[in-house]
């Protein structure tokens, strides 16, 4: 395994992070525990979860993923071996069941944090992330930004950081991060942190061969401001393994939950087919090539991989040992030039 540090800290994290959102929906508690054990055996020390998980979000499974992590921590007493990240849900119809105030007020943060800590059976979360902005923006499939004048959001970056600082001082969280955030949002948080407020360490956004839009503006900020990047959905819901090229595979995530077909449009399928041919030409696992591309990006702190079985997980973690040649990278970039970001 390879390691780096959460920026501006002495916290060492593996370059591969174990994503957990299927636990409690597609994976049982036993399977979740097995995934943690396998990941640790292979050098992974970084786990990412969220209060809204399992996915898809629904009242029956909300918080179940954190509970599964918590029972493993309680059973094994290995909390000191894990860097633990979680997230508070922001406003959105899909999570209206979580709490009445879906914002980042002190009241909402306290409710979310206390419940997450109880489920996780721990006293502190190492990296606590805002799952998506309170304001209207262009995440989840939207390329362009269009403002709704009635969005109702009032500028509150300083207030949110102040609220988070309160819980840092109480010892419930160590550091803070963002998720599904834009260059504008990140820069505003960084500017407000200069008022002796907590500084954002990381941004967790979708990033893969079919969605490299963060390279357009965000990655320069990551580099110049020394902020970490945690890519999620690195295999595009399994699309970048090639298993759906001849149709959606039965009982797969895309078959069970068709609402997640953002990586299955005509242009995305065309690009996926071309990327798969590059892997085949060079005798590589398509999944590992897709992940290795991300692992090698200089702005990536840790690549969040997930799986529904141990064989998939072992293959995904094994991507850390694959170094793509300049020839392969040139071929990948040539496809990207022809079919850029087909799945925003």
Taking only the tens of pLDDT, the chain with its 344 residues reads: 999 999 999 999 999 999 999 999 999 999 999 999 999 999 999 999 999 999 999 999 999 999 999 999 999 999 999 999 999 999 988 899 999 999 999 999 999 999 999 999 999 999 999 999 999 887 667 778 887 777 789 999 999 999 999 999 999 999 999 999 999 999 999 999 999 999 999 999 999 999 999 999 999 999 999 999 999 999 999 999 998 888 777 777 776 777 777 888 999 999 999 999 999 999 999 999 999 999 999 999 999 999 999 999 999 999 999 999 999 999 999 999 999 999 98
Homologous superfamily of 3-236+301-322: NADP-dependent oxidoreductase domain (3.20.20.100)
pLDDT of residue 250: 76
pLDDT of residue 282: 98
Contact 243, 252 (CB under 8 A): yes
User: What is the distance between the alpha carbons of residues 65 and 277, in angstroms, rounded to a whole number?
Assistant: 36
Structure tokens given for 98: 């979580």
Which residue, among 11, 89, 49, 82, has the nearest Cα to 301 in the 3D structure? 11
Which amino acids are annotated catalytic? 53
Phi, psi of 190 (to 5 degrees): -65, -40
pTM > 0.75: yes or no: yes
Grouping H, G, I as helix, E, B as strand and the rest as coil, residue 180 is: coil
Residue tagged 């020394």 (tokens): 226
pLDDT of residue 19: 98
């Amino acid at each position: 395994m390879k390691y780096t540090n959460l920026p501006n800290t002495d916290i060492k994290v593996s370059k591969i992070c174990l994503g957990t959102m299927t636990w409690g929906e597609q994976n049982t508690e036993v399977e979740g525990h097995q995934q943690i054990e396998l990941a640790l055996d292979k050098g992974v020390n970084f786990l990412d979860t969220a209060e809204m998980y399992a996915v898809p979000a629904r009242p029956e499974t909300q918080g179940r993923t954190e509970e599964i992590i918590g029972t493993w921590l309680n059973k094994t007493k290995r909390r000191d071996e894990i860097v633990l990240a979680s997230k508070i849900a922001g406003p959105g119809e899909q999570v209206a069941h979580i709490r009445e105030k879906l914002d980042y007020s002190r009241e909402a943060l306290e409710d979310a944090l206390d419940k997450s800590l109880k489920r996780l059976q721990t006293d502190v979360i190492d990296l606590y992330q805002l799952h998506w902005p309170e304001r209207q923006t262009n995440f989840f499939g939207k390329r362009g930004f269009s403002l709704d004048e009635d969005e109702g959001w009032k500028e509150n970056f300083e207030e949110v950081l102040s609220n988070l600082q309160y819980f840092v001082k109480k010892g419930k969280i160590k550091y803070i991060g963002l998720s599904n955030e834009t260059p504008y949002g990140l820069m505003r948080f960084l500017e407000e942190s200069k008022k002796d407020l907590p500084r954002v360490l990381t941004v967790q956004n979708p990033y893969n061969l079919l969605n490299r839009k963060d390279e357009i503006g965000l990655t320069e900020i990551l580099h110049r401001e020394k902020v970490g990047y945690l890519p999620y959905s690195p295999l595009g819901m399994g699309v970048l393994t090639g298993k759906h090229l001849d149709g959606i595979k039965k009982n797969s995530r895309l078959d069970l939950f068709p609402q997640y077909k953002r990586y299955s449009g005509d242009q995305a399928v065309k690009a996926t087919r071309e990327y798969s041919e590059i892997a085949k030409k060079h005798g590589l696992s398509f999944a590992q090539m897709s992940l290795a591309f991300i692992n090698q990006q200089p702005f990536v702190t840790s690549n969040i991989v997930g799986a529904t079985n141990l064989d998939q997980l072992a293959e995904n973690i094994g991507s850390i040992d694959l170094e793509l040649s300049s020839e392969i990278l040139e071929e990948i970039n040539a496809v990207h030039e022809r079919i850029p970001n087909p799945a925003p």
